[in-house]
Structure 1
Amino acid sequence: MGSSHTRRRNRHNRPISGRLSFEARLRFFSCLLSLPTLGLLLWLLIVEHLTAAAIVSIMTIAALAMLLAIASFMDQVVRPLQTLANVVAALREEDYSFRARGARPDDPFGDLAIEINALADMHQAQRLGALEAAALFRRVIAELDAPVLAFDQHQALRLMNPAAERLFALNPARDLGRFAVHLRLEYLLHQQDEGILHLDGQVARSPSRWMVHRSMFRQHGEPHTLVMLSDVSAALREEERQAWQRLIRVLGHEISNSLTPIKSIAGSLRSRLPRPEAAAVPPDFDRGLSVIEGRAESLHRFVQAYRQLAQLPAPAMRRVAVWPLLERTVRLETRVEVYLEPSAEILALEVSADPDQMEQLLINLIRNAVEAAQTAAEETRTEVIPEVTVRAKLHPRQLAILIDDNGPGLTNPSNLFVPFYTTKKSGSGVGLALARQIAEGHGGTIELRNREPHGCRAELRIPLIQEPEPEAEASNEAETEDAVAPVLSSSLLAGDGR
């Protein structure tokens, strides 16, 4: 075993010194040891009184035989050493596919070859494990919903996962290797570890709140910074929702307990009053009691509307056809003609949802869009026709339902989903908060944003039904096999000459 180009490389890399090499010394001492044998043979030939021609012929044949013996001896000694040197050189170059032949126990060269082969096996197993771990790491990073980015010591982007690409609108082919300041991501490197970061729509694709986790690691001896973001928007909204629910329950209970006797007492007093034409009764007394009774009843209905937020049941999930649900919801709106844009890709689409809650959610969003469009037409006092359009789009794992209007747009987006907050004169501030609560109960999201040049868009996203994919595991195994293929194909060459 042992390739000629490797031996030539090893010879070229030898240090130049005044001493002879091991191979030259071995050849010299072998020739020196053969001289007494040749001398003895020459003396015997002379004693036998052979002719000079015969002596020369015999001595020539003997010398050639001796040289062949020396060459064979050199091959048996030097060649195994060259083989072992080549295997060690392959290990140094991280090529673990070559093995030394002739590894037999109870033999000095054999024991050395066994140990070197065992070392190569160990390194090959470690490399195979590292490749499998790297393939697993890439798969885990790719499947994480949390954005992950890595920057080197010069703040150049070296790693990102699909979640980071989606959040920051990055492109690996374009942005890997670029500096954080050019990508407008330098604030991530200066953010406090486990600090809350608010990303608005100008930085990320959607406003959200994230917890930043920063850690250091080394690659090829150089320090790198790993940044991972955890979406805490849903958790914070859940805390806010629970706080509002507790507040609404307490306020609703106390207000209802106070309004009921007020309404009852006001009604009793009115029933005991003499007729209005009696002079003893002040003219405004009856009217005042009517106002008290009416306002108590209105306030009671107002409180009951808010209690919907605290009493919303968990969704009863089942398969729901999307297109009939949209058609049924659109037909419920009669004030303005709502245009439902046809889409062939969702005609037979089904999602897992609670149909009653999902219908209520869409009713609230369409109602807000219609009222906004009507408000714009009334305020401008023009012949602008209120327009509301509903359409659906398919995304890789989500269904997006878009509701567009030509109203005045959003004036205070930060308070849209805050209970009790409303910009409408007769609004209760419950509709959007209830809609978001329903959407999150279905594992979805709601986002409202202004359109250009005017109007607003409400976007509801809910997850699609994930059908089992039998080919998924096969593709994952194929990816691992592709990563390990260089090692396996190299191991098949074990025993080839190097």
Structure 2
Amino acid sequence: MTHDRRVQLGALLGALPALVLAGILLARAPWPLPWKLLLFAACAAAAAVSLRALRRRVQRPLQTLANILTAIREGDYSFRAREPADADALGEVYHELNVLSELLQQQRMKAMEATALLRAVMAEIDVAVFAFDGEDLLRLVNRAGEALLGSPQERLLGRPAAELGLAAALDGEGAQLADMAFPARAGRFDLRRGTFRQGGRVHRLLVVSDLTRPLRQEERKVWHQVIRVLGHEINNSLAPIQSLSESLLRILERQGEDWMDDTRQGLGIIASRAQGLGRFMEGYTRLARLPEPCRAPVDLEVLVRRVAGLEQRCEVRVHPGPPVTLQADGDQLAQALINLVRNAVDAGAPVDLGWTVQGPAVELRVEDRGPGLPTGGNLFVPFFSTKAGGSGIGLVLSRQIAEAHGGSLGLANREGGGACASLRLPLG
């Protein structure tokens, strides 16, 4: 039996003695029988109407409370109960439910705002964030993580860490520095791991920070300052030396003395070396003055064949890849390729030049048949060169051009002998 029916039955049992008493009194009254039955029926009808009204008065508040509690359970906090004008026990219950709904609605709004802020921050930070569940399936990735893996979020969520190439990065504890190669980028990364709970289950968090570009930028700033200081000081010293040498040469020519030949020759060497040093420093200052890329559509095959045709010392064999059009600075990319091809020709002919598309990037490869790369990590250090008379700025300038376009430049020895320079550029 329901609660309202039990209340109705209790009221009926309470009213039953009164009905029995009314029947007894009507039976003893000196009235006609039809009148007695009519009066008894009226009393019974009044009792039935009162009981039905009582049941409704019990049902309505309980239904209101049930509706509000159902809405709260379903996450809808907009329902409110109409509070009576006079404060009573039921009114207090309505008031407390309304306050609870308002409080839950405010807390839900704050949680939604905090979640929206967190998502906005995660989307804008230049740090890749990945979240994996207990089965190592990817459940959360931000925009930087999509760029690092070279795929949109829809294609990444639900895939295992091993398939994404993140199993090695996910294993371990705490922070770690590691050299890794991702589909869109390769270099040195800072790996940080942690755990959190969602829905009562333990999830693992992986934060990947690219340290390559910040290190390169700081390194470049230092070298820029050094180059500017050296250029300023040496140019200030070379200008008077060159002027004085030329003046002395003119004076000696007017003298016309034979014994002055050696002196004239020495001064000529001084003037020549001063000019050479000036050209030498001018080449170095190009590192500090590389402008920002002026991007425009560049047909990669046309650019590669033009660069290959500039080398006359040996044949540069072009291995075409798929058609690619880059949004890049054609002059800067041509200069970077010229430097790489020139180094390859100096190392050993023949030279192979080609490209392949790998996900969101295109990789240009310049391969030679030389002795390979020397040991040590000085190949990208400005002023360092393994060639006699080399300036030591070609590789540094090429890498600077690649990174200005959002790409990278790598060097490696080939298995069959020789070296390979890989210039990686984004397609977007």
Task: Return the TM-score normalized by structure 1.
Answer: 0.62
Aligned-partner residue type, residue 360 of structure 1? Q
Identity of aligned residues (%): 34
Task: State the Cα deviation string for residues 80-105 of structure 1 (Å, max 9, x = none).
Answer: 224304533552x353268467x364
Say which of 2, 16, 32 aligns to 1:35.
16
Query: Pairwise mapping of residues 161-310 of structure 1 onto structure 2 (< 5 A)?
Result: 161=142, 163-164=144-145, 167=148, 172-175=157-160, 183-187=168-172, 189-191=173-175, 198-201=177-180, 206-208=186-188, 210=190, 228-256=207-235, 265=245, 268=249, 297-310=275-288
Superposed displacement of residue 152, structure 1? 9.4
Task: State the Cα deviation string for residues 289-313 of structure 1 (Å, max 9, x = none).
Answer: 7776665554443333222223x25
Check if 1:400 corresponds to 2:362: yes
Superposed displacement of residue 431, structure 1? 0.9
Matched position secondary structure for 1:416: coil
Say which of 323, 326, 335 aligns to 1:344.
323
Matched position secondary structure for 1:236: helix
**CA separation of 1:410 and 1:118: change in aligned 2, threshold 3 A:** farther
Residues in 2 aligned to 1:177 and 1:82: alpha-carbon distance in whole angstroms: 54
Superposed displacement of residue 160, structure 1? 4.1
Say which of 28, 53, 58 aligns to 1:47.
28
Task: State the Cα deviation string for residues 124-180 of structure 1 (Å, max 9, x = none).
Answer: 464366446535644553454311245899x998754353466589965344799xx
Matched position secondary structure for 1:207: strand
Task: State the Cα deviation string for residues 63-115 of structure 1 (Å, max 9, x = none).
Answer: 57635642441232144224304533552x353268467x3642655675466
Matched position secondary structure for 1:238: helix
Say which of 294, 298, 308 aligns to 1:321.
298
The residue number in structure 2 matching 1:474 is none
Residues in 2 aligned to 1:138 and 1:451: alpha-carbon distance in whole angstroms: 43
The residue number in structure 1 matching 2:104 is 123
The residue number in structure 1 matching 2:352 is 388
Q: Say which structure, 1 or 2, has more relative contact order (CA 8 Å, 6+ apart).
A: 1
Residues in 2 aligned to 1:221 and 1:83: alpha-carbon distance in whole angstroms: 33
Check if 1:364 corresponds to 2:344: no
Structure 1: state its 5+ residue gaps: 1-7, 12-21, 192-196, 378-385, 465-498
Task: State the Cα deviation string for residues 397-421 of structure 1 (Å, max 9, x = none).
Answer: xx63513314455445733321011
Say which of 411, 414, 420 aligns to 1:456.
420
Number of residue equivalences: 410
Superposed displacement of residue 198, structure 1? 3.9
Retained in 2: the 8 A contact 1:439–1:462? no
Say which of 367, 388, 407 aligns to 1:445.
407
Residues in 2 aligned to 1:404 and 1:26: alpha-carbon distance in whole angstroms: 92
**CA separation of 1:457 and 1:176: change in aligned 2, threshold 3 A:** closer
Superposed displacement of residue 34, structure 1? 0.7
Range that drifts further, 286-295 or 422-431 = 286-295
**CA separation of 1:359 and 1:183: change in aligned 2, threshold 3 A:** closer
Residues in 2 aligned to 1:142 and 1:424: alpha-carbon distance in whole angstroms: 46
**CA separation of 1:148 and 1:220: change in aligned 2, threshold 3 A:** same
Superposed displacement of residue 118, structure 1? 6.1
Retained in 2: the 8 A contact 1:213–1:227? yes
Question: What is the RMSD computed on CA atoms of the aligned residues?
Answer: 5.1
Residues in 2 aligned to 1:242 and 1:445: alpha-carbon distance in whole angstroms: 19
Retained in 1: the 8 A contact 2:174–2:194? no
Retained in 2: the 8 A contact 1:421–1:429? yes
Residues in 2 aligned to 1:29 and 1:257: alpha-carbon distance in whole angstroms: 112
Residues in 2 aligned to 1:281 and 1:344: alpha-carbon distance in whole angstroms: 63
Superposed displacement of residue 47, structure 1? 1.5
**CA separation of 1:370 and 1:72: change in aligned 2, threshold 3 A:** farther
**CA separation of 1:270 and 1:434: change in aligned 2, threshold 3 A:** farther
Say which of 397, 400, 417 aligns to 1:434.
397
Matched position secondary structure for 1:242: helix
Matched position secondary structure for 1:244: helix
Retained in 2: the 8 A contact 1:325–1:359? yes
Superposed displacement of residue 364, structure 1? 1.9
**CA separation of 1:141 and 1:254: change in aligned 2, threshold 3 A:** closer
Retained in 2: the 8 A contact 1:366–1:403? no
Residues in 2 aligned to 1:72 and 1:292: alpha-carbon distance in whole angstroms: 120
